[in-house]
């Protein structure tokens, strides 16, 4: 595959959905193009705004929060795996996800999970809910606020 065909295919790929630089670089690497050619294609895609890391971060954060019900920690980890710098996505987490909606969503998630938990006591239920919420990427402070657990209960 030559550079012109790769650019054309990647333009269509990026037009279909938001993509990050790492996604595009991975495809170029699989196609076996040389490093200079790969870099020139990525720069051309960025110049023509097919690739935009900030726009990608906003879409990723919004989708993972609304549809996958992930917390900020897990979203940040996923973006780091996409090789996006934390100074790029960290401010966007607070900007895209409204604090009141975030905590309300966590409360709803915990209430829903609580219905399906089988446990012998209140502390066991709380422990299972905490593990669940931590696994979803929510911070302990937020979990504690949503479950109304005081620090002395731990």
Q: Are 32 and 63 in the same domain?
A: no
Terminus-to-terminus CA distance in the chain, angstroms?
Answer: 60
Q: Are 112 and 82 in the same domain?
A: no
Task: Name the pTM for this structure.
Answer: 0.86
pLDDT at residue 26 above 60? Answer: yes
Q: Are 107 and 132 in the same domain?
A: yes
Q: What is the 3-state secondary structure (H, E, C) of 27-47?
A: HHHHCCCCHHHHHHHHHHHHH
Q: Are 70 and 104 in the same domain?
A: no
- What confidence score (pLDDT) does residue 154 get? 40
Q: What is the band of 149 on the pLDDT scale with cuts at 50, 70, 90?
A: low
Domain that residue 65 falls in: 53-97
């Amino acid at each position: 595959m030559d550079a012109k065909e790769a650019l054309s295919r990647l333009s269509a790929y990026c037009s279909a959905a938001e993509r990050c630089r790492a996604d595009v670089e991975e495809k170029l690497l699989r196609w076996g193009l040389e490093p200079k050619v790969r870099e020139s294609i990525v720069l051309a895609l960025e110049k023509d705004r097919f690739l935009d890391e900030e726009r990608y971060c906003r879409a990723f954060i919004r989708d993972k929060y609304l549809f996958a019900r992930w917390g900020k920690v897990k979203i940040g980890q996923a973006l780091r795996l996409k090789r996006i710098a934390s100074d790029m996505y960290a401010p966007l987490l607070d900007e895209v996800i409204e604090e009141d909606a975030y905590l309300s969503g966590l409360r709803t998630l915990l209430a829903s999970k609580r219905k399906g938990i089988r446990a012998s006591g209140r502390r066991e239920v709380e422990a299972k809910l905490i593990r669940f919420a931590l696994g979803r990427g929510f911070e302990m402070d937020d979990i504690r606020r949503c479950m109304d657990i005081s620090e002395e209960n731990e």
